[in-house]
A = this chain, B = another copy of it.
C-alpha cells in the first residue's frame, strides 16, 4: 500500500514527489510512462522560472536537475500507464495497463492538459523552435519581432493582445470569418495598431530550417496562398484536459470537475474526494506556468502529509 500515488510527471508531479518524500512519507511513487519533466522539456530556453536564469540551458536540462533532486529524497518513478483511479472505502486503487492494480492511501493527480494541435506539416518538427502554445512563457523571446497567432477564441485573442505589447507586430490568423470571443476582447484587438487580423484563412504549412521557424503558408477562402515571414507562431486552438484517469466506465468523474473538465479544487488543492488532491494544469484556473504547477504540487504534498498523519 502506497502512502501516496502521484499520477503524472510534469512540474506539479515532481514538486509533489519532492515535498512528499522529503516530508517523511515512506512509500511515494510517481507514475509516468515516459521520462518525467512535462511539456517544458520541449522548450529550448527558460527564463521565467524564478531563480533559474541560464540561457545556455534547455527545458530538458532544467527538468533533469529536478528529477535528480526528487529521486535523491526517495521518490520512486514507475514507468507505468495509469488507466483509472478508483476509491474503495478509505483507499484508492490505481488501475495500470498490463499490470496488477496498486493500492494507495492518497492520490495527487497531476496529469495536466495538452494544447491541441492544428495538424499541419512543420508543426511537430518546429515545436519548441519557433512554435509555442504559451505566450507568457515564450512571448518575450520575440520582443520587437513579428509573430503570428493562430486561433479565434477568447484565449487566442487575449494572448495576441498580450503579445502585441511585446512584439512589433502580431498577425491573428483565423479560419472563420468572425471570432468566437467576447465582444470587448474583439474590439480591443481590432483597435490595437500593431495587430493585423487575417480572417477566412487556413494555416497550411509551417516552414523553417535548422535555426527554427521561418514562416507560415496560409490559404485564403478563394484559394490564394499567402506567405507570412515570421520567426514565431503561437497556436491557441484549445486544450485537452487529461482527466481520463478520473473517468469511470459510465463516463462519470471520480471527483467534481467544471464544465471544461478541469478538477475543482480549493487553495489547498483538495478535490471533492477525501484523500484525492489535484495539482497543475488539470485543475480549474491553472495559470499553466511551471512555477505555478510546482507550487500546486508542493501544496498538495503538504496536505497529503497532514491527511496521512490524521489517518494514522
CB distance from A55 to the nearest CB of B (A): 11
Does A162 contact B66, Cβ atoms closer than 8 Å? no
Contact at B48–A49, with CB atoms within 8 Å?
A: no
Determine the residue in chain B with the shortest Cβ distance to A300.
B287
A297, chain B: closest CB distance, angstroms: 8
A60 at the binding interface (Cβ < 8 Å): no
In the complex, the answer to whether A309 meets B66 with C-beta atoms within 8 Å is no
Tally of contact residues, A, Cβ under 8 A = 58
A266 to B25, CA, bound (A): 29
B302 x A50 contact (CB < 8 A) = no
Judge if A104 is at the interface, Cβ distance under 8 Å: no
CB contacts (< 8 Å) of A298 on chain B: these are 48, 50, 287, 289, 291-292
Closest to A22 in B: B140
State which of A68-76, A212-220, A244-252 sits at the interface with chain B. A68-76
B51 close to A309 (CB less than 8 A): no
Instruction: Given A50-B14, A51-B49, A165-B24, check contact A302 B69 (CB 8 Å).
Output: no
Please give, as numbers and ranges, the residues of chain B lying within 8 Å of A171 by CB-CB distance: none
User: CA A299 – CA B18 in complex, angstroms?
Assistant: 22
Q: Does A146 contact B (CB under 8 A)?
A: no
Q: Which residues of B contact A88 (CB under 8 A)?
A: none
Q: Which residue, of A158, A165, A166, A306, has the highest number of chain B Cβ atoms within 10 A?
A: A165
How far apart are the CA atoms of A165 and B298 in the complex, in Å? 18
Q: Which residues of B sit under 8 angstroms from A11, Cβ to Cβ?
A: 50
- A65 at interface by CB-CB < 8 Å: yes
Q: List 16 A-B contacts (CB under 8 A).
A: A15-B291, A23-B139, A24-B162, A25-B165, A49-B51, A50-B66, A50-B298, A52-B52, A52-B69, A162-B305, A267-B284, A289-B295, A291-B295, A291-B298, A293-B295, A295-B295
Binding site for B on A (CB under 8 A): 11, 14-15, 18-19, 22-25, 47-53, 62-63, 65-66, 68-69, 72-73, 136, 139-140, 158, 161-162, 165-166, 184, 188, 265-268, 283-285, 287, 289, 291-299, 302, 305-306, 309-310, 312
